Amino acid sequence: MNILMVGPNAASKGGIATVIGNFKEQYTGQHVFYLDTWEEKHKYQAGLKAFWTIRKKSEATSN
């Protein structure tokens, strides 16, 4: 099973970022993929990157 976790960068401040950081530590070597949608320094760039990554993955899956 593949799992995609979408959320803020794990190095960011906040509750969800802390949870994602804990997941990264716990689930190493498994099929868990992390997609950062927000960073403290480059929040708009991270959002656009997330959009294009999801679009690219969905196109690859539909072919």
Per-residue pLDDT for the chain (63 aa), expressed as one digit of tens each? 778 888 888 888 888 888 888 888 887 777 778 888 776 776 677 778 778 888 887 777 766
Q: Read off the pTM.
A: 0.51
- Domain extent at residue 24: 2-60
Q: CA 63, CA 60: separation in Å to the nearest integer?
A: 6
Looking at residue 24, its pLDDT comes to 82
Q: How many domains does the chain have?
A: 1
- Provide the 3-class DSSP secondary structure of residue 39: coil
Looking at residue 56, its pLDDT comes to 84
Looking at residue 27, its pLDDT comes to 79
